[in-house]
Structure formats: C-alpha cells, structure tokens
A and B are shown apart, each in its own frame.
Chain A
Amino acid sequence: MFYREAGQYKTSYPSDMAVFPIAQDRIGIGLILAAAFIFIPMVASDFIMSSVMIPFLVFSLAAIGLNILTGYTGLISLGTGAFMGVGAYACYKLTTIFPGVNIIVWIIVSGFFSAFVGIIFGIPSLRIKGFYLAVATLAAQFFLQWCFVRIPWLYNYNASGAIEVGTRTLFGIPIVGPNATPEVRYYVLLCIVVALTWIASNIVHGRIGRSWMAVRDMDIAAELMGIKLLDTKLLAFAVSSFYAGVAGACMMFLWYGGGEASDAFNINQSFNILFMVIIGGLGSLIGSFFGAAFISMLPTVLKFGLPAIGIPLSGATAEHLIHIMVGGLIIFFLIVEPHGLARLWQIGKQKLRMWPFPY
C-alpha cells in the first residue's frame, strides 16, 4: 500500500524519462546511499569491510563493465580478468613514474589504458559473433596474462614479479598502502563506484545504450537503421574495458594492497565476473550489483554460516561446494529466470505495487 504510483503524474518528458520515475524508488536509492555512506562504516567491523564490502564494490564495478559488453551489447567476453589486469598494471606503472600525482587520478586514468587495449581486441568483433567472439576474447585473456608475467618492465623488475603498493595519501590521510585503514579504503572505493555507476546509468539510458541494445537484439536491423556497427561495438568494448580496468586498479590498490597479479587476473576471474553478470541479470546495472554481491559473498557465507548452524566445513570442502553451487545456480537461473536476480527484483517490485492485494 505504500508502493503505489497513483497520484504521481508526469507532466513533462524529462520527468517521464527519469531513471527513477517513482518517488518511492528515489527514496529507496537515498536510503541505500545513506546506508552505504553512513550506516555501514558505523556498524561494520574491519573484517567485514575488508572481506565483504570492499570485494563487493570492486566486483560490482567489474560486473558493470562486463554487463555493458555482454548484457547490453550482446558481445560475449571471456577476457574480463585480463582487462582488469591491464588497469592494475597501468596504475602501478603510472604511480611508479609519477608518484606525486594523486593515486585516485591514476586509478581512473588506468581505465583509459584498459579501454585502449579493449578497443584493439574488439576490432575483430565486427565480423565475428557469438562463440567465435568468446574465443577471440580468450586470445586476449591468455596473451595479456602472458604479458603480465613475461614483460618485467610491467612489475618494475621485481624479484617477486608482484605489484608492490606503497603508501599514497589524500589530504594527508593514507588511502593506499599498508597504513591505509579498511574504513578509508572503503570510502574511497565507494565514492569511485557511486560516481562511475551514475555515469554508466547515464550512458545506458540514452542514445548510446539504445544503440547497444539494438545491436544486441537485431544487429542487421540496427545497421539498416543507420547505427554504425563497428563504432557501436568498439565503444562497448572501450567503455566495458574502462570499467574493468578501474576495477582492476582498485582491486590491486584499494583491496589487495599489492600482490601476485597473475592469479587475480586469470581465466578463472573472467569466469567469475561472467557468472556474476549471468546470475545478477544481463542488461541490468542493478543486476551487476546483485550478481557481485551473490558471488563475492557466497564463499564467506558458506565458510562462516554453515559452521555457525552446526555443519562443520573445511576450507577446501567449502571451495568445492561453492563450485557446485555456483554451477547449479547458473543452470537454475538460466532455466527459471534467464534475466537473473534483477528480473526477480523487478517482479518483486511489481508484486509490491499490488500489495496487499493479490492482483
């Protein structure tokens, strides 16, 4: 009874075209942002920040990137992990060469490097579709992974081959490196994610988003309507890789604080993000968040939740269980609701509009 549109008339096109036309939705978003910025830092422990919230935000960003490519434009990519890696290494090199410039600037700029690489590997996509494109992105994944290991310049000729993160500050507060607290890192990440999500939403709701969806749904008709396929697809690769690159940089600098990058950006990571997008909902920004939350929190939930209710579980078994569950859930969602959690959310809201009436 409180989720009704009655009485909310739209008297202008701009208000009709708003992203959140229903007042209750606007309130909802306000509440979520308030929770994210105020509530969570107050109640969450350092552990929850580091192991749950920060990974969730990083993966959400990567999932938005992949969703733009696969969900909105229909181009399957198995190379997200590698593009994340490009962002991470770009950020590393940039902050090594110009340590004076604020790290947040470099995190964003590294997205552009990733976007550039994305465009190069996206060029074949004009002639190649579907599974074939997936194989092309695999080429990107394996080649870039090889580069990360075999081009020592990328990791500053470290003996360990890993990215080393020193301290970087903003207004005197360490935001990156061993002295940066989880709380500070969370805030920086949250601001980045909120800003980039807003931009993604803007793009997707306008002409470009429509062009992407047109290419996904019926590319021949789109071409005959004057939508330039190559430009549209390359833009999708660029924007998607940008988001993946920023996510990768955030992963290295705001989450891991450095480390062995070849594990973080391998093919399994690419699959990981793809599953987030499938389960969360292809073609939905909010779905990216749902999927990221689901997959990134599932291991933690299993590891701590099951023993908490009395089922003992070793770390290794939990891993195996996660594999089975993720696999099973993918199949389940594809059968029951191919549009993922986002559609379930929409259906839930529909029902809420009627509540407490059944129809």
Chain B
Amino acid sequence: MNVSVQSNPHTLAKGDTLLAVENVSLAFGGVKAITDVSFDIKKGEIRAIIGPNGAGKTSMLNVINGFYHPQQGRITFKGETRQKMRPYVAASQGIARTFQNVALFKGMSTLDNIMAGRTLKMKTGLFWQLWRHGPAMREEVEHRHVVEEIIDFLEIQAIRKTPVGKLPYGLQKRVELGRALAMEPDLLLLDEPMAGMNLEEKEDMSRFIIDVNTQYGTTIALIEHDMGVVMDLSDRVVVLEYGRKIADGTPAAVKSDQKVIDAYLGVPH
C-alpha cells in the first residue's frame, strides 16, 4: 500500500482534488468492466458519471467504495494513495453512498436505518451497551439529535417509525439518502438517485442534493440517466462507455461532444 501524502487531508480547500482514480482497470473473469479510466473529483463539486448501460458506472463507484478491487490502477483519497480501498477505510475516511437497488435494512424502521448510519460515530463499548441506561443511553440521545436534524432536512418526519419495507419507492430512496448523510461524509456517492421517480419526486431529490452540497459542503459524485438533471445539477461530467472514459468536462462541453452523442445513439464503432 503506497502512502504518499501530497497534502494534509484536513486542510483541503474547496477546489482541491478530493478523490482521484488513476488508470483503474477492473475485470471479472473475462468480462472487462473498467479499462484504464482516470478522472478526479474536486472538493465541493457535484460530479456526474454518465454513460449508456453497462458502461461500468456502478462498478466505478464500487471500486471507490472498496467493494471491488481493481486489478490495476490507484485511488487517491484525501491525499493518500492506495492500490485498493477497503470498505471500512472508505467509510471511516468519509465516503458514503446510496445504491441502485435500494439497499435499506428492510427489517428496521426509518429511524433505525438512519441511526445505523451513525454507527461509525458511536463509541460506547459492549460493557455499557449491556446496561443501556447510562453512557450508552446518553450517546443514543446525542446521535438521535443529529438524526432528527437529517429527518427534518429530508422532510420524512411522518414515516419515522415505519418499517422501511412498507414505504413507497421514492421515500425509500430518500431514507437511503438520509442514512448516507448520517455518516457526515466528505464524499457522497449517489447511484441513480432519481431512478423510477416522477417529476415531483425528482425535483424534491434535486433540491435535497443541491442543499446537501451547499449547506454541508459535501462533495457529490452521482450516476444519473436523466440528462436534464445532470445538466442542471452537476459542475463537471465524466462519460463512460463500455468501461472506457470517452469525455470529461463541463456539462455543456460534454453535451456537444460527438463521441458522447454517438455513444447514446448507439452508433457502432
């Protein structure tokens, strides 16, 4: 594991590189999911990752998270460079994410799901947990305050105690966002947060994403298919096709890039 500290991670300013992937390649057996992709994400920006189906977008997020380990390439996060990320390291260093197919804990309520997101921040040990009343309870209340703020922010007070399995899809996605926010991440990875939503829900979700970015300063990387959302929300866009990067730049630049247009129209090459 190479550790080359390029800058003190705690003094990254807005505009500095928060995350960089260099020459990452990932294959499953014979299937090449990602081939030699490099891009960076700057602190404080909203970065969109787009591309036709099968382009390797979710795989890319999985690599950043540490769920998949690339065969080649390096990941630099907050100044530390690694061959591969480990999930615990990614989480504890401040990377949170939502999933394409909502990965909520279906057996628990909204409140418990979001409280689960606070697990990393909860420190009372097994001994105090046995008695509940005392330090463990104080910690629960402390984190409950934070979670309630998130619940207020996402306007999901009414479904606080509802088991998430019973919620409609749009609300489930919102709860999942809440759970990710509970981790107070520096980098938030959103995998198709608008999928399956109607116009109103998309507007709500977009508003939340922008608010998270502006109010909390969270850097956001988002995979999205809705071009309107991508153009409106993102500062920069990276385009993948068949596992390779074909464009990288501002939304306007990418939109008019011929390679991107060809990719989406399915022009064979």
Contact = CB atoms under 8 A, between A and B. Distances in A.
A226 B129 contact: no
A217 B130 CA distance: 23
Determine which residue in A14, A17, A221 has the highest number of CB atoms from chain B within 10 A of its CB, and name it: A221
**Chain B binding surface, main DSSP class:** helix
A223 B129 contact: no
A213 B108 contact: yes
A210 interface: yes
A226 B183 contact: yes
Interface in A181-217: 199, 201-203, 205-208, 210-211, 213-214, 216-217
Contact of B141 (A13, A207, A224): A13
Given A210-B119, A225-B117, A225-B119, A235 B126 contact: yes
A81 interface: no
Given A13-B145, A205-B132, A225-B119, A210 B88 contact: no
A198 to B, nearest CB: 9
A216 B105 CA distance: 8
Contacts of B132: 201-202, 205-206
A150 B119 CA distance: 45
B208 interface: no
B183 A221 contact: no
B144 to A, nearest CB: 5
A283 interface: yes
Interface in B191-243: none
Contact of A199 (B124, B130, B139): B130
A228 interface: yes
Contacts, number: 100
Interface stretch (B71-79, B96-104, B167-175, B258-266): B96-104
A202 B67 contact: no
Given A207-B122, A223-B87, A224-B91, A214 B130 contact: no
Contact of B131 (A202, A208, A223): A202
A64 B117 CA distance: 26
A59 B250 CA distance: 65
B33 interface: no
B9 interface: no
Interface residues of A, number: 30
A235 to B, nearest CB: 7
Interface in A17-49: 17
A226 B145 contact: no
A225 B179 contact: yes
Given A218-B106, A224-B67, A224-B91, 4 more contacts: A13-B141, A13-B144, A199-B131, A210-B115
27 contacts: A13-B140, A14-B137, A199-B131, A202-B129, A206-B140, A207-B129, A208-B126, A210-B112, A213-B105, A213-B107, A213-B116, A216-B105, A217-B105, A217-B107, A218-B103, A218-B106, A220-B67, A221-B99, A221-B104, A222-B105, A223-B67, A224-B67, A224-B87, A225-B119, A226-B119, A226-B183, A227-B119
Interface of B: 65-67, 87-88, 90-92, 96-97, 99, 103-108, 112, 115-117, 119-120, 122, 124, 126, 129-132, 136-137, 139-141, 144-145, 179, 183
Q: Which 10 A-B pairs have the closest CB atoms?
A: A226-B91, A202-B132, A226-B120, A217-B105, A221-B103, A13-B141, A223-B87, A13-B144, A210-B116, A207-B122
